[in-house]
Chains A and B, each alone.
Chain A
């Protein structure tokens, strides 16, 4: 059903650029069009100039949107025009194609519905600007189409034989989940660029059209890697879709690869798209290729919070704490543990002693209100514990530590850790913190210089407890479990002296935990 292309004349229009022959649309490695703006068949779709490009391509409304020309109306008969997905509203960068109301070869009137797309909460009907014949449909239902991407090509007014070749045919597809299918016949249009081979191409196209193969971009890439024409592979997937195994089996039969199973095992397993807050694992193409990681959930929150924290003048106070007594205490808790499901670690003891020190130095458990130049000394010690989860950094806090026992703190910490690893923390869990503890030592490192968790005024990073030799008063060497701490503080409200005194107090409680009993209520 394709119009025969005359190969007598090369036609170049102001808005079209001839492209070298292309065989594939799926790979991001395709050369990008010489000038992407030329993909838009008319400046009616020059999206940069307007916020709303009208969906209903009603000429009367164009004037409202300051389009400078209406070239589509002035096109000579027989031109194939690209119809891109126009802007559907502010901030909408892409839509999902839901269904086509037309198919290739259909004759359409202007303003006739072409397809339906979905953007977020809305399904939107797209109508045609042109009267003509649907030359090529470039997407299938389920595809995510970026604003500006060509949806289909229409041969405007098929009565006259065109003396022109077709124009830009590059379909730049963005990287997206491998659930998207690409119809091979859509890529056929790309081959029309070279008019010298028009006749050959014509039949080639017909062959391609007949052999229209469904498969994902990743599978197409794999086929290309092995030098296989995907159209020759028999698909065993749904609707005759060509799967990875089909390509590998085909390659094995052709003697291109030795063992199919070896290839399958070597590939990374794609991670499933998780719940909100999970990072989307991008499609894995090859080790040397760039990967785009959209930041979501906790990672996105981290960008925001750290940017704000960077504006605060921090100072860092470093000290070393002898943890011999702490180690002994923890071991004692474990030995005499009447609760088999409770695991004792250092952190709850550190948290409790921190709270005790805060009672004496409440300035470190406060929050600073810059606009009113006020420091609010918080009554509750809601001690946040930074946690590294598969989804990123999150800081839930233990509420009212001043009223909790070490055992209660241990249980609450375990509860929060469990929720964090399952991405089930509530907003209650992560808000209302008054000071933060970052146990980076659990992973490694001597100490870090932490950034404040605003609106708090101090944060404490504790490094790994390391056994090192020290000298006692008599010059004898003895082993000491040493932990380095780094207290980050807001220098607008805390001075070195206050932080130093606070740290000494805390250090004393850790090095001499029996002092905790003195304050037992």
Chain B
């Protein structure tokens, strides 16, 4: 009997709220959850938990253009997300995925195998270091958080992206080896050249369905962990923090 996976399908859901929901699901629920958010709202910068604004973000531009900057509860790098980003999050009890050791690398590999199924026959998909690539170009970035009995592995997929939005981000000091000296436009690619959004979502749900018994849950359902009393780690950075970063950067 395959373990149960609660599926929450969203579209255009604000990323801050999504991250809050994910964190509550990780820490207060004991069910398996899959969230698929087909595009968020306006462009938002999302940094990893230990991300430092002056190192990762062009603070001046971000302030000028009123781009929100979020620090999320999982590790990893910085992304700028918008309507062209598709999010897929998997929150699992380690015992329900018992053949996967609850450590970063095994979870990453397991996810790579899942998406192998999603893109089979459509594209030259690989898990390369910690990224999802077509050939040697990144189209999906990953982050995780591992607790005592559960873990979350979430991905932001570039279905499409605006080159000008990338200018809000600084070139990261830490980059994967396979990147070599490529700049952003040579390093990333978009999924839209390979398959339509809806097909990606359907294929993903199907791949998950091969390992779990998928049950669709509405956002309004009582099964969704409530936010009262919960102190979220993910937060929106204040204007002052961005101004401080500006000062450091000049």
Contact = CB atoms under 8 A, between A and B. Distances in A.
Do A and B originate from a single complex?
yes
Interface of A: 52, 55-56, 88-92, 96, 98, 111, 113, 118-125, 127, 142, 273-277, 297, 423-428, 430
Nearest to A57: B148
Given A123-B73, A142-B50, A276-B179, 5 more contacts: A89-B106, A92-B105, A122-B143, A426-B181, A427-B182
Contact of A89 (B48, B103, B179): B103
Contacts of A113: 147-148
10 contacts: A113-B147, A118-B49, A119-B75, A122-B104, A122-B143, A122-B144, A123-B49, A124-B104, A125-B146, A426-B183
B180 interface: yes
Contacts of B140: none
Nearest to A52: B101
Going nearest first, the 9 A-B pairs with the smallest beta carbon separation are: A122-B144, A122-B104, A89-B103, A121-B76, A276-B175, A89-B105, A118-B75, A125-B147, A124-B146
Contacts of B104: 88-89, 92, 119-122, 124
A119 B108 CA distance: 13
B147 A121 contact: no
Contacts of A96: 50
B74 interface: yes
Contacts of A92: 104-105
Contacts of A426: 181-183, 186
Chain A interface SS verdict (over half)? loop
A124 B104 CA distance: 9
B145 interface: yes
B166 to A, nearest CB: 15
B44 to A, nearest CB: 19
Contact of A428 (B106, B142, B186): B186
Interface of B: 48-50, 73-77, 101-108, 130, 142-149, 171-175, 179-183, 186
A297 B179 CA distance: 10
Q: Which of B101, B105, B107 has the most CB of A within 10 A?
A: B105
Given A55-B102, A88-B103, A274-B173, A121 B186 contact: no
Contact of B50 (A98, A276, A425): A98
Nearest to A97: B50
Contacts of B183: 424, 426
Contacts of A91: 105
B105 A90 contact: yes
Nearest to A113: B148
Contact of A123 (B145, B181, B186): B145
A343 B75 CA distance: 48
A229 B104 CA distance: 42
Q: Which of A96, A142, A275, A297 has the most CB of B within 10 A?
A: A275
Contact of A127 (B77, B107, B108, B148): B148
B146 A430 contact: no
Contacts of A428: 186
Nearest to B172: A276
Given A55-B103, A119-B75, A123-B75, A427 B146 contact: no
A424 B181 contact: yes
B130 A120 contact: yes
A124 to B, nearest CB: 4
Given A89-B106, A276-B174, A426-B186, A118 B148 contact: no
